[in-house]
Amino acid sequence: MKKIMRRLEGKQEQLNEENKEIEMNETDFLQMVLQEMDNKTLDISGDFDIKMVRHVQEFARNLYFYEADENPNIRINISSNGGEATALFAIISTLNELKELWGCTITTVVKGFAYSAGAVLFLYGDEKEMTDTDEIMLHQCLYFAQGSLKDHEDELKRSKKLQKRIDKVITTKSNLNQYQLNKLYKKGDAFLDYEDCLKLGIINEKVEEDE
């Protein structure tokens, strides 16, 4: 009986520690959102997943009630290896709602690297900024499927549809056309530095780094 009681007490202590960690994470998350609202700056750092979607939606929801300025300029700092295409579209959908409600301008800024979905979000910006220490990377959708040939065919069809949606965002929001995109895709992972982006008309001028 004593052994059972000790085990139960140990499990209860573990649960208490886990609850404290969850509370701390929630507190840190809210503090980060409040700081972002003050600066009207959204930090996209990490993978594009459901957590990142929640982060952007929380920022937009709180900013809508918190900010009184008309037509604000929202800055999005991006340091990301990319992630899920569906998360990317959820984020873009949220930003589109902000623009529709406020008529705001969105400036996207590369902070070191913006790869895959991160690069697409960068190209989504009304204004785009990067320095000669930054780079982006574009490639076609990756897909993973297990099972029958039919499963692979279905996933391939879905990935092609996602790719068309991605290409539409890029060609609509940047100076890149489909021909240029297809040439980049032939490289596999197409890494583009400041000079490359300048030549392609993705950016107009260099943003000097703070000393």
Q: What pTM, to 2 d.p., does this model score?
A: 0.77
Q: According to the 3-state scheme, what is the secondary structure of 52-96? A: HHHHHHHHHHHHHHHCCCCCCEEEEEEEECCECHHHHHHHHHHHH
Helix axes 149-173, 178-185, angle to 10 degrees: 130
Instruction: Give the SS3 label for residue 202.
Output: coil
Q: Round to whole Å and give the CA distance between 179 and 171.
A: 10
**CB atoms closer than 10 angstroms to residue 119:** 27
pLDDT digits (tens, 9 = 90+) for 27-81: 554 455 445 555 689 999 999 999 999 999 998 888 766 555 666 789 999 999 9
Band (pLDDT 50/70/90 cuts) for residue 16 is low
Among all chains, which residue has been given the structure tokens 């998360």? 87
Confidence at 5, pLDDT banded by 50, 70, 90: very low
Q: What's the confidence (pLDDT) of residue 8?
A: 41
How far, CA to CA in Å, does 138 sit from each of 82, 135, 193?
10, 10, 11
Q: Which pLDDT tens digit goes with each residue over 124-174?
A: 999 999 999 999 999 998 877 677 888 778 888 988 999 999 999 999 999
122 membership: H or E segment, kind and range:
helix 117-124
More confident residue, 105 or 24: 105
